[in-house]
Chains A and B, each alone.
Chain A
Amino acid sequence: DAGVIQSPRHEVTEMGQEVTLRCKPISGHDYLFWYRQTMMRGLELLIYFNNNVPIDDSGMPEDRFSAKMPNASFSTLKIQPSEPRDSAVYFCASSSWTGEDEQFFGPGTRLTVL
């Protein structure tokens, strides 16, 4: 398996623009997680899905952030409009059918909002 795949790896955009980050989880994994990593706040869970259904979005910072999982092999995290304080590395992770299993992380998307 290729592991968790994220695209793009780097994104530079201007304030006010829409940003869409993409994630393909490991095949057969039922859980998908979106995290954000910054120097100040470390790694924070934004939202997670179980069987394509959002379970907990309490970590989503504002209404400007939204996430979808239209099928088992694809998820998006959208920021609209983007702001400089959204600059961070965004990670996607997946795990198998129970919460007891390891989470496997993608390589991340480094977002810079100018």
Chain B
Amino acid sequence: KQEVTQIPAALSVPEGENLVLNCSFTDSAIYNLQWFRQDPGKGLTSLLLIQSSQREQTSGRLNASLDKSSGRSTLYIAASQPGDSATYLCASGSGNTGKLIFGQGTTLQVKP
């Protein structure tokens, strides 16, 4: 059974720092890996989707990488801003069904 883990559970950084959020999964036979952002009391916003055949995806200041062999994905945020403060969730997709298994998330606080 796939398990997804995110470390750390919480992170506080000063504005302007580059940071990395980690996601690990136990079953390397994933179909894709998706990163989401969740603001307090809100739904999830999709940030990046990496297919199993890809190594990374980029969107603006965000870069997500995928290493299936080691069971790891990272989300890199460049030049962090207070507006980046939120909970970031990763989820692994198994098979071609779209079924997602979520990690518990990393709550990020960027201090001005």
Seen from chain A, the residues whose Cβ lies within 8 Å of a Cβ on chain B are 31, 33, 42-45, 48, 50, 55-56, 91, 93, 95, 98-108, 110
Contact = CB atoms under 8 A, between A and B. Distances in A.
A100 B31 contact: yes
B98 interface: yes
Contacts of B101: 45
A54 to B, nearest CB: 12
B69 interface: no
A103 B97 contact: no
B102 A91 contact: no
A56 B44 CA distance: 22
A91 B43 contact: yes
B98 A99 contact: yes
B96 interface: yes
- A contact patch SS: strand
A31 B105 CA distance: 24
Contacts of B43: 91, 105-108
Contacts, number: 62
Interface string B13-37: 0000000000000000001101010
Given A42-B104, A43-B89, A43-B102, A99 B46 contact: no
A42 B46 CA distance: 17
A99 B89 contact: no
Contact of A99 (B44, B91, B97, B105): B97
A42 B102 CA distance: 8
Contacts of A99: 31, 93, 95-99
Given A42-B105, A105-B44, A56 B98 contact: no
B49 interface: yes
Contacts of A56: 97, 99
B98 A48 contact: yes
Nearest to A6: B43
A100 B99 contact: no
A98 B36 CA distance: 19
A80 B36 CA distance: 31
